[in-house]
Structure 1
Amino acid sequence: MHRSRGSRKTHATRWGRCLGLLGLALLAACSSAVRTDAPAKDDPLMTARRLWHDAAAIQRKDLAARNWMHCALAAYRAADTDNVLRAQEAQAMAGGCTHELMGYLLDQEPAPWRPHTITVVGEPLRVVFRDMPDSLDDGPVALARADEVTLPDVMGQRYISAGYGVSMVGWQPPCHDKPICKLYPPDGVTRALTAWIEPGDDGVPQLVLTGTRKHPEMTIGHRSVPLATDFSAPYAALVDRSHINRMALWGLVGGQQLAMREGLYLLQDYDPSKTPIIMVHGLGRSPLIWARLTNLIDGTPELRARYQVWHVVYPTNTPVLLNRMVVQRMMDRAWHTLDPDGTAPAHQDMVMIGHSMGGVISRLMVSDSSDVVWKAVFDIPPDQLRGKASDIATLDSLFRFQPYTGVNRVIFLATPHLGSPLADSFIGWVARRVVRAHTPELDALERVVAENRAHENPLLALDYASHGLSSISTLSAAQPVSRAAQTLMPAQGVRYYTFAGKLPGANPPGDGIVPLQSALIAGAVSTTVVKDGHQLYLNDEVLAKIVDILRQP
């Protein structure tokens, strides 16, 4: 999650350097204004200044670290004042000294941290975990300074909130001993933390590490002070650890690694009062397509206070209707863990955002199929079919479904609601022969069909024989089951919004993959067409519009 000390110095982010320069400028500007407030010998701010100045001239890092520790401690005491200028300088001094101290300590103790007492040149420093995120428990936590976590270009800009202390990132490997562990990303849990130095009740300096989601402020004396937080670094650290993009492509041709990661994953600790935004990726993709949007939502204070982001991971080689059932199961399992009684406000107010095939899945999640899809497969009802009861029950769930309770809004990005011509092109022909799908549900379908040939839709049988059964074949506008599913619209009361790309010269008009005629459906609250290709999740105009939609009641 972080580099060696030498590499960190070389690659420190520009915003971190600017913040340091700004802090030093503040110190210089404020010193003349505050120096006469108290005698030098009793003035903790004067002490902090001296320790900071002396540390810069010390060659031995351990001795400099001792100065930084005492500097941060003195600055903490100096921050307990109603004098605005003194408080600002003390905060800047505390942040600068703690920042340097953490760099030294992370080099000395790179292993996961836990509450214990360490020494700095023989002097004790007590490590304290306070108000840590529930997902990190009290166990060992790997730490990195947030400004040393590289932000990938795909995430866009870095979102920070200035305040007391030093922004940190904490990481733990995924747990396995509680039901909620299954809702944490397989690459581990990363959370925003803040570190500062304060005196303990017994006079021993304490290095405090705390989560900022539940408690974004700290108290110094009688004042509440906001904590410094980097909202982008935790997700960037998670992205850095993930190899899921490669797994997504491999999964299309039958690789099992992505299937092993299948699930719905929370990016923050669950909050029963916040609206979940459930993001569903498309064909051959992974949740990393949502990096910029996820970062933008978390970096916007109004949205961060109102929403929590959840990512769906599913194998994209299987038929769309099976994907819908898989996503429904994921959501059911998540809510069984998070809110088994179904009373949480979050459970009653969800937003789904789907790109491409993920948009088709999202539309089907809020649709009532009645018998429309079933009749495209069989000409008799389920109770008249021959076969194992469990197989028939599986098909009943696959082809007959109702709107998912609690999903009230859906945002569609470049979604082929009426299929894609690529599925019927030469590229689609090749893809159908490469993309493989094999699941227990498809096995059940084959067994039931084999025992009920006389009642199977003959057009569907011909299509299966010539095109097979996969995600590619079910994106064909001509496929009988797809045609039936295309008629299903979001249920009454569900608000939905459509986004489509239109490339100059594209024939038919569209984003080069999904025609406008397929991406735009009637009844949308708003329709946005941009001059862009299929990857609308990277389009700034689209993202700004999504933010506007999420701001609405």
Structure 2
Amino acid sequence: MLSRTDLTVKNKRNAINAYNDSLLSLLKMPNSEQSHLEVIRDGADSYIVASEMDAKDPRLQPKIWGEIGLAVTSIERNSGDIDHVYYPKEGIFNVGTFIAGDIYLDGLVLKVHLKFHDAIYSQKIKFGTNTHTARVSPGAAYLGLLNVADIDDFSLLGFTTPAKAEARRGVFSIGKFAADKIPLVMIHGLNSDPLIWKYLTMSILNEPDLQTTHQILHVYYPSGPPPFFNAMMIRRDIDSFLSTFQPDASRSEAVIVGHSMGGIIAKTLVSSPQYASWDATFKSRPEIVLMSENAELQDIFIFEPLFEHATVFFLDTPHRGSAVANSFVGSVGSALVRLPSDFKSIFKNFIERVGVKVLTPEMLPFLKDFGPNSVQVLAPGHPLMQALLKLPVNGESYSIIGSNTQHVCDINSLIGCTTISDGVVEFNSAFLGDKKDHWLSNPHTIRSIISKQLII
């Protein structure tokens, strides 16, 4: 019937529904030696049927689109091999569609082949001269990951004892990576993890136009060490990721979203400080004082944008620091951080060789003990934060500033804006105010802005 061209709309819909229902029955049918029907499935050992997934939180309910086939998620164990290193440790959850393939008799047994179609892109299924879109649900694959995710166990651990969380550091593709999609990189903040992006991620995956054009990448990093060290590590991770999956592709554009300290890291991915950060830290240029074993030290302070053009979203980012870092709460938090020895050795080996005389007076208090930690860097007036503040973004930027009081102010005159704060980051710190930065009030969402700026 699906091959016929003379069906009424109602009969066509009934035929599609019958076909899809049959696929579900076949997928769930257990094979046994006594059965005269054998179902042969492609691919992974385990599947989740999208239509049977029910999120406890309505905001995380995945959508299904398309006409024909059985929308499923295949589940593959992450082996840790090179092909899997850039996927979540909890497993590889791949979007797909089951379609009926060959049907034939083998003796007295009727064999039905269920073909798994990878659904990185929109698939077209043909019956005769009729073409139908395959049913898919990228959101269902993500919900499957969320249901077993344990990365949130490493939020506090990565802040207080980062060495114990280092094994989970990395850049991870959400869904099977597609090399020709625009990278959309999400970077969490202090004492946090990638699960803070679950609502935004689901919202994007539930939007066909965005999902088919953007590749979501989640970043996890232990947040106890300072943002400029973590930024260096993340730049290396992203560069390695893209070199693995896109060795011949140009890095023309990307979307980067950073929350709080993640916004500070995001800005280092789209800026070129030249010697600004280095000169804020050291009295002598690197070519004078560095040796080959100090490569990591140079990479912390001197870097180039990862992409030719980026659209960056800063969420409650303390560009000018946060007063909370100097408060009692900040002092307690700072005292809890145990910086890993491999981080401290970067500065220890260098300073013991050249002496503290090479440090600027402003940076001496932070580096004399081979620190600092992330809380100390986020305090107002830190030299590196001030240097980064002056750097232009290599692209466009949007500031999204939260408030636990008022939600509206006059952005032109700034009347009423200075009292806005989310309790940690004040407006005056989060608002960049340069010509290439756009301030967004609360009614906007990142998803809608991405849609308006990059799709329409």
Q: TM-score, normalised by structure 2?
A: 0.88
Q: Say yes or no: does 1:524 pair with 2:428.
A: no
Match of 1:305 among 212, 224, 227: 212
Match of 2:349 among 425, 447, 469: 447
Is the 2:50–2:72 Cα contact (8 Å) retained in structure 1? yes
Count of residues paired in the alignment: 438
Residue of structure 1 in register with 2:242 after alignment: 335
Q: Report SS of the residue matched to 2:306.
A: coil
Residue of structure 2 in register with 1:125 after alignment: 38
Is the 1:432–1:467 Cα contact (8 Å) retained in structure 2? no
Q: Report SS of the residue matched to 2:374.
A: coil
Is the 1:367–1:488 Cα contact (8 Å) retained in structure 2? yes
Residue of structure 1 in register with 2:386 after alignment: 483
Higher relative contact order (CA 8 A, sep 6+): 2
Is the 2:347–2:370 Cα contact (8 Å) retained in structure 1? no
Is the 1:91–1:164 Cα contact (8 Å) retained in structure 2? yes
Residues 170 and 514 of structure 1: CA distance in aligned 2, closer, same or farther (over 3 Å): same
Q: Say yes or no: does 1:208 pair with 2:109.
A: no
Cα drift, residue 255 of structure 1: 4.7
CA distance in 1, matches of 2:265, 2:58: 25
Residue of structure 2 in register with 1:354 after alignment: 258
Match of 1:471 among 358, 374, 398: 374
Deviations 1:194-225 (A, max 9, x none): 23445525573323332233452212222112
Q: Say yes or no: does 1:93 pair with 2:18.
A: yes
Is the 1:420–1:477 Cα contact (8 Å) retained in structure 2? yes
CA distance in 2, matches of 1:376, 1:462: 13
Cα drift, residue 434 of structure 1: 0.5
Residue of structure 2 in register with 1:69 after alignment: none
Q: Report SS of the residue matched to 1:332.
A: helix
Match of 2:140 among 229, 233, 243: 233
Is the 1:154–1:292 Cα contact (8 Å) retained in structure 2? no
Residue of structure 1 in register with 2:79 after alignment: 175
Cα drift, residue 433 of structure 1: 0.1
Q: Report SS of the residue matched to 1:87.
A: helix
Residue of structure 2 in register with 1:509 after alignment: 420
Cα drift, residue 152 of structure 1: 4.8
Residue of structure 2 in register with 1:395 after alignment: 297
Cα drift, residue 154 of structure 1: 7.7
Is the 2:260–2:315 Cα contact (8 Å) retained in structure 1? yes
CA distance in 1, matches of 2:135, 2:341: 48
Matches within 5 A, 1:130-529: 138=43, 140-153=44-57, 155-177=59-81, 179-197=82-100, 199-200=102-103, 204-214=111-121, 216-341=123-248, 344=249, 347-385=251-289, 389-391=292-294, 393-450=295-352, 451-464=354-367, 469-491=372-394, 494-504=395-405, 508-521=419-432, 522-529=434-441
Gaps of at least 5 residues in structure 2 are 407-416
CA distance in 2, matches of 1:262, 1:196: 38
Residues 157 and 204 of structure 1: CA distance in aligned 2, closer, same or farther (over 3 Å): closer
Matches within 5 A, 1:63-74: none
Tell me which amino acid in the other structure corresponds to 1:422. V
CA distance in 2, matches of 1:230, 1:339: 25
Gaps of at least 5 residues in structure 1 are 1-77, 109-117, 130-137, 531-538
Is the 2:54–2:61 Cα contact (8 Å) retained in structure 1? no
CA distance in 2, matches of 1:403, 1:526: 20
Cα drift, residue 399 of structure 1: 1.3
Residues 86 and 148 of structure 1: CA distance in aligned 2, closer, same or farther (over 3 Å): closer
Cα RMSD over matched residues? 2.6
Cα drift, residue 280 of structure 1: 1.0
Is the 1:180–1:337 Cα contact (8 Å) retained in structure 2? no
Is the 2:264–2:318 Cα contact (8 Å) retained in structure 1? yes
Residue of structure 1 in register with 2:414 after alignment: none
CA distance in 2, matches of 1:340, 1:547: 28
Cα drift, residue 551 of structure 1: 2.4
Cα drift, residue 237 of structure 1: 0.5
Cα drift, residue 257 of structure 1: 4.7
Q: Report SS of the residue matched to 1:484.
A: helix
Residues 124 and 156 of structure 1: CA distance in aligned 2, closer, same or farther (over 3 Å): closer
Deviations 1:276-330 (A, max 9, x none): 1111111111111111111121211211221111111111111111011011101
Cα drift, residue 164 of structure 1: 1.7
Structure 1 stretch 506-515 or stretch 417-426: which is displaced more?
506-515
Deviations 1:453-496 (A, max 9, x none): 222123322345699511111111122333333322313xx111
Cα drift, residue 419 of structure 1: 0.9
CA distance in 2, matches of 1:322, 1:238: 29
Tell me which amino acid in the other structure corresponds to 2:153. R
Tell me which amino acid in the other structure corresponds to 1:449. I
Tell me which amino acid in the other structure corresponds to 2:403. K
Percent of counterpart pairs with the same letter? 23
Is the 2:23–2:99 Cα contact (8 Å) retained in structure 1? yes
Larger helix proportion of the pair: 1
Q: Report SS of the residue matched to 2:179.
A: coil
Deviations 1:25-83 (A, max 9, x none): xxxxxxxxxxxxxxxxxxxxxxxxxxxxxxxxxxxxxxxxxxxxxxxxxxxxx323221
Q: Report SS of the residue matched to 2:441.
A: strand
CA distance in 2, matches of 1:407, 1:317: 30
Is the 2:142–2:175 Cα contact (8 Å) retained in structure 1? no
Is the 1:368–1:401 Cα contact (8 Å) retained in structure 2? yes
Tell me which amino acid in the other structure corresponds to 2:273. S
Deviations 1:135-166 (A, max 9, x none): xxx5x431122233342528534211142232
Structure 1 stretch 243-252 or stretch 203-212: which is displaced more?
203-212
Q: Report SS of the residue matched to 1:458.
A: coil
